[in-house]
Amino acid sequence: MARKVFLNGDWVDYAQAVVPVEDRGLMFADGIYEVIRVYNGKVFQLGPHLDRLFMGAAELRINLHYRREELERILARTVEFNGLENGGLYLQVTRGVSPRGHAFPAASTPTVFALTHEGHGPPARPGDGRPVEGSPAITAPDNRFGLCYVKTVGLLPNVLARQQAQEAGAREAILVRDGLVTEASSSNVFAVIGGTLYTHPLANILPGITRDIVLRLAARLGIPVREIAVPIGHLRRADEVFITGTMTEVEPVVSLDGRPVADGKPGPVTLRLFEAYVGVVEDDCGRVR
Ligand code: PDD
């Protein structure tokens, strides 16, 4: 089946889904996006993703002309038209097209598009056959700007950090600012130290939807949580480290800059949270197929 892309009001074939070169998304990365999970043909956690999109649009003063219910319908149809069972939905909103000039154009209509990409199905529970894989990470300087709480398409520092990780044979780059761990190139970072779960507070990091779910699960499971920035030295000596994200889900980090995290295996708190997260996915979208 030909891939269908929603672009400014219509669904078009992928090859026809093009934007003018003076789109401010291309010129200035003047736009925002969401990556949303689809499991078993159902859109996972749509509400929080749309909340964050509207928050970002308001923050950047992008006049998003679609109402929430319209976006819900657009995304549902995009999944349907592409016959997507498992994977991701990508939604992007830019300030629109206008002759190049830094300040906002007097009038421009936002460019809105949505597309799907195939991915794996719901994660299996630990012990359900598939072992929970951990992955290596590196550390890299967090040299991003001061609006990291907005999910902007201005991702060049993230891209460079991730490339560095890939070249080092690692899965993720954990970002460090002023000696403190902030988040990672496309995920949030957690550490377990002495039974307590640590993660950066919501200050100039992306308010991850998976992060939020994990924090609520930790409260439900009676795992103590502290939302404070962890010094990189503490992360290196942590009992467990894991990353979270829409596509990443809950993923153990088993080595940092080539040295094992604790014994180099996914830890028990991570696995409990992983299992609880699978429960949330199953409650919303049904069991693993
Ligand atoms: N990234 N931090 C950063 C910098 C991110 O880019 C992301 C997500 C997260 C996790 O947020 P959430 O749990 O809401 O997905 C944290 C997406 C998936 C991406 O850019 O592909």
Q: Per-residue pLDDT tens for 212-232?
A: 999 999 999 999 999 999 999
What average pLDDT does the chain have? 96
pLDDT confidence of residue 120? 86
Distance from C-alpha of 207 to C-alpha of 56, rounded to nearest angstrom: 11
249-256/180-184 β-pairing: unpaired
- Residue closest by Cα to atom 6 of ligand 1: 186
Q: How far is the CA of 45 from the centre of ligand 1 (A)?
A: 14
CB 232 within 8 A of CB 154: no
Q: Considering the chain, what percentage of its residues have pLDDT values greater than 70?
A: 97
- 245 CA to middle of ligand 1, Å? 5
- Encoding tokens for residue 13? 């074939």
What is the pLDDT averaged over residues 153-167?
Answer: 98
Residue closest by Cα to atom 4 of ligand 1: 186
Atom of ligand 1 nearest to the CA of 33: 20
pLDDT digits (tens, 9 = 90+) for 6-16: 999 999 999 99
Assess whether pLDDT exceeds 60 at residue 274. Answer: yes
Cα torsion angle, 146, 147, 151, 156, sign:
negative
- Report residue 287's pLDDT band, with 50, 70 and 90 as the boundaries: confident
Residue 252 has pLDDT above 70, yes or no: yes
Residue nearest (by alpha carbon) to ligand 1 atom 16:
187
Average pLDDT for 20-47: 98
Q: What confidence score (pLDDT) does residue 124 get?
A: 77
Which mutation among 55, 151, 186 tests ligand 1's pocket best, with the greatest number of atoms within 8 A of CB? Answer: 186
CA–CA separation, 236 and 254 (whole Å): 11
Question: Ligand 1 pocket check: which of 116, 206, 213 to mutate, most ligand atoms within 8 Å of Cβ?
Answer: 206
- Supply the pLDDT for residue 209: 98
Residue 163 reports pLDDT greater than 70: yes
Report which ligand 1 atom has the smallest distance to the Cα of 211.
Answer: 13
CA–centroid distance, residue 211 to ligand 1 (Å) = 9
Q: Ligand 1 centre and the CA of 149: distance in Å? A: 11
| Buried b or exposed e, range 129-151, using 16+ CB within 10 angstroms | eeebebbbbbbbebebeeebbbb
Task: Return d(Cα 18, Cα 96) in angstroms, integer.
Answer: 13
pLDDT one-digit tens code per residue, 40-86? 999 999 999 999 999 999 999 999 999 999 999 999 999 999 999 99
CA distances (Å), origin 143, targets 30, 173, 204, 242, 248: 19, 12, 12, 22, 22
Nearest atom (ligand 1) to Cα of 185: 4
Tell me the three state secondary structure of residue 138.
Answer: strand
Mean pLDDT across 163-191: 98
- Euclidean distance between CA atoms 145 and 20, whole angstroms: 27
Around ligand 1, the residues with Cβ closer than 6 Å are: 35, 158, 183, 186-188, 206, 208-211, 244-247
Find the 106 Cα to ligand 1 centroid distance in Å. Answer: 32
Q: What is the pLDDT of residues 100-120, one digit of tens each?
A: 999 999 988 999 999 999 998
The residues carrying an active-site annotation are 151
Alpha helices in the chain (DSSP H): 24-28, 46-60, 68-81, 156-167, 209-221, 232-236, 268-285
- The per-residue pLDDT for range 227-246, each reduced to its tens digit, is 999 999 999 999 999 999 99
Res 154 pLDDT > 70: yes
For 121-149, the pLDDT digits (tens) are 877 777 666 678 899 999 999 999 999 99
Burial class of residue 198, CB neighbours in 10 A (0-12, 13-18, 19+): buried
In this structure, what DSSP letter does residue 277 have? H
Q: Find the mean pLDDT for residues 150-174.
A: 98
| Contact predicate 99/83, CB 8 Å | no
Ligand 1 pocket test: pick from 205, 217, 246, 277 the residue with the most ligand atoms within 8 Å of its Cβ. Answer: 246
CA dihedral (165, 183, 111, 83) in degrees, to 10, reads: 70
Is 25 in a helix, a strand, or coil? helix
Compute, in angstroms, the gap from residue 35 CA to the centroid of ligand 1.
8
Cβ atoms 261, 241 nearer than 8 A: yes
